Chains A and B, each alone.
Chain A
Amino acid sequence: MAANGNSRIVRGKCFVTKDNIDTDQIIPAEYLTLVPSKPDEYEKLGSYALIGLPEHLYPTRYIRDGEIKTEYPIVIGGENFGCGSSREHAPVAMGASGAKVVVAQSYARIFFRNCVATGELYPCETDERMCEELETGREVEVDMEKDVLTDLATGRTYPLKPLGEAGPVIDAGGIFEYARQQGMIKKAVA
């Protein structure tokens, strides 16, 4: 569903979360009746991205009431981002809402894999505890070619880990697009 040709340089406001953001906080189970492979339901899923974050911890919402897209293309996390269920709805909802990249110290395995398989967003790792360095609303640039995050207000830079083998797959827009580009599978025959 992701557009071909994802960009490795993302500039914009960041939304800061903490450790162990699980899939129920990313997309609560009551919205899983939406089928991500249906285009209209894909858009709707996006409007609920990160709606499960408790209000008292996250008074600024990822998507404003009444909006369907986010103003934060960059999500910052701590450890173990995306833990919990295998629901692909989680990276899909974030991607559909307009998120391009998550920068976190570590990811849960299935969430990371679902990001790559769908090409919905880059799960970028860093050793820096960015969730303590930044706050929601800060303008940053995530450069996954040079592997550096820049806080645009201060000019301060933070190293990112290389995307490695996952990078080209997400660049292509997911595992199927990548496999086609590489000649591993043929184009779908309608």
Chain B
Amino acid sequence: MAHSVGSSACGFLAAEGSLRRSGHGKPRAGRSVGPVLAIAAPLAPTRTPAATGSVKKAMTMTEKILAKHSDNTYLAPGQNIWTKVDKLMTHDVCGPGTFGIFQKEFGENAEVWDPEKVVIIPDHYIFTSDERANRNVDILRDMVKRYKIKYFYDITNRGDFQANPDYKGVCHIALAQEGHCKPGEVLFGTDSHTCNAGAFGQFATGVGNTDAGFILGTGKLLIKVPPTIRFVLDGQMPPYLMAKDLILQIIGEITVAGGTYKAMEFTGTAIESMSMEERMTVCNMVVEAGGKNGMCPPDAITFDYVTQRTDEPFEPVYADGGAGYIEEYRFDVSKIEPLVAAPHSPDNRKTARECSGTKIDRVYIGSCTGGKTEDFFAAAQLLHKSGQQVKVPTFLVPATQKVWADLYGAPVPGCDGKTAAQIFADAGCPPPASPSCAACLGGPKDTYARMNTPEVCVSTTNRNFPGRMGHKDGQVYLASPFTAAASALSGTVADPRDYL
């Protein structure tokens, strides 16, 4: 397994060094910096141990990021290390318990390790009359005041989310949109879909309240270095296919436990040509395969997205040539068909076509997985092209306030200047709801679009175990926004190719 640093590895190392040197201290000026330019630049004079020629063995992105964060020059899968934490994210469901553990274990007088590195995003149970849910947001507010937490996206007026300029919505999308996701960093969050941020080439994973309470006090966490499975996704994306189809393909292939304890790294031309939102969709669902974290190599598309949203510096990290992967899967995306995960498991992969006789009661478009601007635009494009009315109630829940604004403010490409909100209204959908996690995970009984009866739903969300969206006997088909929109028009599970 010992690899000397070959020329390709040197290229990647040079890329890291020069990007750091070329001044992400002023990242707005560096927006055009891409990996190709960087490889031509000389090595930076200052080096951190894992980024120098002293690296004797090649590492994957995940191993390398964790090595850098634990002052190791080399890490192998299975090693237990104390990693430094760049950011801790929590929300209304797990934040109160996290602070409860922190106070109990570190004492009333303890302070959090770094109030600028804690990001608190109420998003789960917001638009509900459930008193305990409302209380939990109040607890977060008190904690933010007590510990002087810098980033808190608060909501006080639940009747009108727009009256709360600080309120964002679904935490994983808000993290990205507010500039908290950065290549090379280590992020923990009290939510399993924290792996979403792997799209930015960072190590990001979900933890429980106790681990998060420990991080609050110390800024560190003991973790095991995961082995990496590499997924090479090559080829041209067909116009009817979305990132959601690719990750459903992968989960169907390796099962809901196939990634357990493992990092899942995504490369190939299909990933390279994807937007950040689509890369997020892929990484978001690695936990549905049991994965510890997802990972996309950062590139010009990543740097563009990040530097438009933050001035903070960052250091992209790339896999060394010859890094060790425990498995590799290759897919030609041009051959993949629109897919669904049928009830009651995300790995119950079927083609949309083979389920096309299945009658449905509703469609849901929303969540961290399928509630981003491009998700709604895709659904709107299909509806616009068909010119038809939806046959079943089609619930729309933008992930964040920004997404909501895009639905009303931005014309959908190729749709005669119409906004998504106009197209959805023309097709007979109820207006987009207040941004939050809403019915993706059921939630309190009065949650918008919660499945309170045993209905059948096609949903752009991430999980379909029994009871996930509310009713225990409800049936959820996970699908891309294209497939969801096609199904809404058909009143059955439908293949989007029939409408595009």
- Give me the interface of A with B, judged by CB distance under 8 Å: 20, 22, 24-25, 28-30, 32-38, 52-56, 79-80, 83-89, 106, 108-110, 113-114, 117-118, 174-176, 188-190
Contacts and interface: CB of A to CB of B under 8 A. Distances in A.
B463 A22 contact: yes
Nearest to B473: A54
B411 interface: no
A37 B105 CA distance: 11
Contacts of A55: 472
B376 to A, nearest CB: 24
A188 B257 contact: no
A86 B443 contact: no
Contacts of B125: 32-33
B345 interface: yes
A58 to B, nearest CB: 10
Contacts of A106: 257, 260
Given A20-B345, A106-B260, A88 B210 contact: yes
B381 interface: no
Contacts of B441: 24, 29, 85
Q: B interface, by DSSP: helix, strand, loop or mixed?
A: loop
Contacts of B209: 36-37, 88
B214 A34 contact: no
A81 B180 CA distance: 32
A32 B93 contact: yes
Contacts of A108: 257, 260, 290
A22 B465 contact: yes
Interface of B: 93-94, 96-97, 100-101, 104-110, 124-125, 130, 132-133, 136, 139, 189-192, 194, 206-211, 214, 256-257, 260-261, 287, 290, 292, 345, 441-445, 463, 465-468, 472-473
B463 A113 contact: no
Given A22-B463, A28-B467, A37-B97, A85 B107 contact: no
Nearest to B450: A30
Contacts of A25: 465-467
B116 to A, nearest CB: 23
A46 B130 CA distance: 20
A24 B208 contact: no
B474 to A, nearest CB: 11
Contacts of A32: 93, 124-125
B463 A87 contact: no
B472 A37 contact: no
A28 B125 CA distance: 14
Contacts of B292: 109
A109 B261 contact: yes
A35 B95 CA distance: 9
Contacts of B101: 37, 176
A112 B443 CA distance: 24
Q: Which of B107, B108, B214, B467 has the most CB of A within 10 A?
A: B467
Contact of B257 (A30, A36, A79): A79
Contacts of B444: 30, 33
B206 A110 contact: yes
A24 B467 contact: yes
A126 B495 CA distance: 42
B106 A188 contact: yes
A100 to B, nearest CB: 18
A32 B94 CA distance: 8
A108 B463 CA distance: 15
Contacts of B261: 109
Given A30-B442, A30-B445, A32-B124, A84 B465 contact: yes
6 contacts: A24-B442, A35-B100, A37-B97, A37-B100, A54-B473, A106-B260
Given A85-B441, A176-B214, A52 B472 contact: yes
A110 B208 contact: yes
B291 to A, nearest CB: 8
B210 A175 contact: yes
Contacts of B260: 80, 106, 108-109
B211 A117 contact: yes
A144 B416 CA distance: 67
B107 A190 contact: yes
